[in-house]
Amino acid sequence: MDELPIWSGDDVVRVRQHVRVVAAASGLSLVDQTKLVTAASELARNALVHGGGGTARVEVVKSANGKAGVRIGFADDGPGIADIDLALTDGWTSGDGLGLGLSGARRLVDEFELTSKAGRGTSVVVVKWSR
């Protein structure tokens, strides 16, 4: 398991690059690598912009039927998300973004788990499986 900091735009770029390397090594197709990298990029940016910085934990996992996958956990200690359903709505943003990062990321991965409470930070765990 690799833990990467997310405190700057350069860190977001490093998370992207690291996820690409791990996804390729784990045997994800080029298309699936790109989907995971895109999702990771949005979630890392959210941790930075909305969460005030945090970490990404990247690891290779094996499913019960022997498939390889990549799991990434993003965590921040920011203000949290009061209404998760609203945050996951296409086009909803609390700022001046497009409001497509969270909803788009969810569509690009196989598993998506968002845990957050107002005032308690945000955790998003995603998994992409090889097929």
Ligand X SMILES: Nc1ncnc2c1ncn2[C@@H]1O[C@H](COP(=O)(O)OP(=O)(O)OP(=O)(O)O)[C@@H](O)[C@H]1O
Interacting residue ranges for Mg ion, rule: CB under 5 A: 46, 101
Going edge to edge, which strands form the sheet with 54-62?
2-6, 54-62, 68-76, 122-129, 111-116
Q: Identify the sign of the CA torsion 63, 33, 58, 1.
A: positive
82 touches ligand X by CB under 6 A: no
Strand partners, 72: 58, 126
| CB proximity list for 22: less than 8 A, separation 6 or greater | 2, 58, 60, 70
- Cα dihedral 111, 58, 9, 110, rounded to 10, equals -10
**Site mask, ligand X, residues 29-48, x = CB under 6 A?**
-------------x---xx-
Residue 54 tokens read as: 């945090």
Q: CB nearer to ligand X: give 77 or 110.
A: 77
76 or 129: CB nearest ligand X: 76
Query: Torsions phi, psi of 99, nearest 5?
Result: 70, 30
Q: CB of residue 33 vs ligand X: minimum separation in angstroms?
A: 21
Among 17, 29, 63, 94, binds ligand X (CB under 6 A): 94
79 is a site residue for ligand X (CB under 6 A): yes
Q: Is 95 in the site for ligand X (CB under 6 A)?
A: yes
Instruction: Report the residue number, 46 or 116, with the smaller CB distance to Mg ion.
Output: 46
Nearer to ligand X, 63 or 94 (CB): 94
* By the rule CB under 6 A, 100 interacts with ligand X: yes
Residues binding ligand X (CB under 6 A): 42, 46-47, 50-51, 76, 78-81, 87, 92-95, 97-103, 122
